[in-house]
């Protein structure tokens, strides 16, 4: 009995002097497109928690697309369901900012000091700014590239070592590939889903979506007419069939399409799905105006939503880690996106050697000087605007409207959806 009392006394002493464990901060994180990002997010969060054991990352159900993701966040804003951190398509940052949903990261950046030393240059920071407010940090950035089946190019009389540099050359060779028969198509151009690939044609012609004052549509001007005519010619001359996004991707990886035009972010999955079925190559996407042409920056930014001060500090740590050199070194090889952090791109500790050893990834990297922000339409009708543009592009691909009719109809519908001052 005496021994038992001594044990209790010793336990009481040890409890008195024990140092309490640091409280754990739990962050709920939401992200879109798990097909691209699940493995990436798992890897980044695991490494982050190893380095920050006082913070635990849990994931909300991911959204299938950027469009579904933004609608989820708009619906959950201000409710208990709202995640602490989310990843939002760059063209939807304006929409959430107009609702005052994201936390302004400006004070965190000011407190941190020189962000450039951490690889966040001014140009990189601007990718996730809205009206000079730092709404997020660019996480995964992409540009559109040309994927091609070198075997089909060779069979059609082309030179895989010198792929087409202009749309005229793409369309001509696409037509020859289509003529090979056996269910082979010339081109798959990812026009479905959103306005990004139309932007690639429009910006590549030196055009813009809206006028400077954002009160009127500008995409139906001369540059937009050139852009939609290229899409029409792909159908009529280049062997572009009417396919869903998924069907087009499946046809390409099966070796049944000559050229595919879509995000560099799909590169890792494309490499995996092609396997050894054919000789896969990549190259720069042609520009209608090779001098003044630009390319839209696709991808997403990490955005902090929580209003809890303690969680905000933890979320800022996670945001910087995810968008920083380590995060970029996971995103690029794991997807095909281009690095959004300058330290990651230049340092042999991260990606410098990767690009030397993986030439298929260079096309997106080399196009980075052409990248400009993915245009974000003003007002609350951004998703409807995107759907309107896509619906009218489908009329061109299906050949149910002329390029002029589709472009004029899209312009009129979009203009009616713009906010009125």
Strands 133-134 and 25-30 come out as: unpaired
- pLDDT number for residue 22: 55
- pLDDT number for residue 15: 36
SS3 readout for the chain: CHHHHHHHHHHHHHHHHCCCCCCCEEEEEECECHHHHHHHHHHHHHHHHHHCCCEEEEECCCECCHHHHHHHHHHHCCCCCCCCEEEEEHHHHHHHHHCCCCCCCHHHHHHHCCHHHHCCCHHHHHCCEECCEECCEEEEEECEEEEEEHHHHHHCCCCCCCCCCCHHHHHHHHHHHHCCCCCCEEEEECCCCCCHHHHHHHHHCCCCCECCCCCCECCCCHHHHHHHHHHHHHHHCCCCCCCCHHHHHHHHHCCCEEEEEEEHHHHHHHHHHHCCCCCEEEEECCCCCCCCCCEEEEEEEEEECCCCHHHHHHHHHHHHHHHCHHHHHHHHHHHCCECCCHHHHHCCCCCHHHHHHCHHHHHHHHCHHHEEECCCCCCCCHHHHHHHHHHHHHHHHCCCCCHHHHHHHHHHHHHHHCCCC
- Are the beta carbons of 335 and 267 closer than 8 angstroms? yes
Please give the average pLDDT of every successive group of 10 residues along the chain, which has 421 residues: 40 37 83 93 97 97 92 94 96 92 96 90 89 94 96 98 98 98 96 93 97 94 98 97 94 98 94 97 98 94 96 98 95 91 86 91 92 89 93 97 97 94 63
Q: At what angle do helices 382-397 and 222-236 cross, to 10 degrees?
A: 40
Tell me the two tokens of residue 288.
């209608």
Backbone φ and ψ for 135, nearest 5 degrees, come out as: -80, -30
- pLDDT number for residue 113: 85
Backbone φ and ψ for 210, nearest 5 degrees, come out as: -120, 165
- pLDDT number for residue 2: 42
Q: At what angle do helices 267-274 and 325-335 cross, to 10 degrees?
A: 40
- pLDDT number for residue 23: 58
- Are the beta carbons of 265 and 335 closer than 8 angstroms? yes
| pTM of structure | 0.84
- Are the beta carbons of 115 and 330 closer than 8 angstroms? no
Dist CA 225 CA 288 (whole Å): 11
- Are the beta carbons of 373 and 90 closer than 8 angstroms? yes
- Are the beta carbons of 300 and 139 closer than 8 angstroms? yes
Number of neighbours of residue 176 by Cβ within 10 angstroms = 18
Number of neighbours of residue 152 by Cβ within 10 angstroms = 26
- pLDDT number for residue 420: 82
């Amino acid at each position: 009995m005496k021994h038992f009392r001594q044990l209790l006394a010793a336990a009481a002493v040890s409890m008195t002097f024990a140092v309490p464990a640091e409280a754990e901060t739990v962050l709920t994180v939401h992200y879109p497109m798990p097909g691209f990002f699940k493995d990436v997010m798992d890897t980044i969060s695991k490494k982050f928690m190893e380095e920050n054991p006082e913070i635990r990352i849990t994931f909300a159900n991911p959204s299938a697309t950027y469009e579904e993701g933004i609608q989820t966040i708009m619906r959950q804003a201000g409710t208990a369901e709202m995640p602490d951190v989310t990843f939002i398509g760059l063209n939807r940052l304006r929409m959430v900012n107009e609702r005052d949903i994201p936390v302004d990261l400006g004070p965190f950046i000011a407190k941190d000091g020189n962000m450039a030393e951490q690889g966040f240059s001014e140009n990189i920071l601007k990718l996730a700014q809205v009206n000079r407010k730092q709404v997020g940090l660019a996480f995964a950035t992409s540009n559109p590239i040309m994927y091609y089946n070198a075997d089909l190019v060779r069979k059609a009389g082309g030179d895989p070592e010198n792929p087409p540099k202009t749309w005229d050359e793409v369309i001509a060779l696409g037509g020859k590939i289509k003529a090979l028969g056996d269910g082979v198509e010339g081109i798959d151009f990812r026009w479905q889903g959103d306005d990004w690939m139309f932007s690639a044609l429009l910006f590549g012609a030196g055009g813009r979506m809206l006028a400077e004052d954002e009160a009127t549509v500008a995409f139906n001007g001369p540059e937009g007419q050139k852009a939609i005519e290229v899409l029409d010619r792909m159908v009529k001359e280049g062997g572009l069939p009417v396919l869903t996004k998924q069907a087009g991707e499946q046809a390409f990886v099966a070796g049944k399409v000559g050229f595919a035009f879509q995000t560099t972010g799909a590169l890792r999955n494309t490499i995996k799905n092609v396997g050894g079925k054919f000789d896969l190559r990549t190259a720069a996407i042609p520009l209608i105006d090779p001098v003044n042409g630009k390319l839209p920056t696709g991808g997403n930014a990490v955005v902090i939503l929580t209003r809890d001060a303690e969680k905000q500090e933890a979320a800022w740590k996670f945001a910087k880690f995810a968008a920083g050199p380590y995060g970029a070194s996971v995103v690029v090889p794991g997807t095909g996106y281009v690095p959004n952090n300058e330290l990651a791109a230049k340092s042999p500790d991260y990606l410098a050697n990767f690009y030397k050893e993986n030439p298929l990834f260079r096309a997106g990297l080399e196009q980075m000087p052409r990248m400009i922000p993915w245009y974000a339409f003003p007002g609350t009708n951004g998703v409807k605007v995107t759907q309107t543009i896509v619906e009218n592009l489908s009329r061109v691909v299906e050949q149910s409207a002329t390029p002029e009719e589709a472009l004029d109809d899209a312009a009129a519908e979009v203009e009616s959806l713009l906010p009125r001052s």
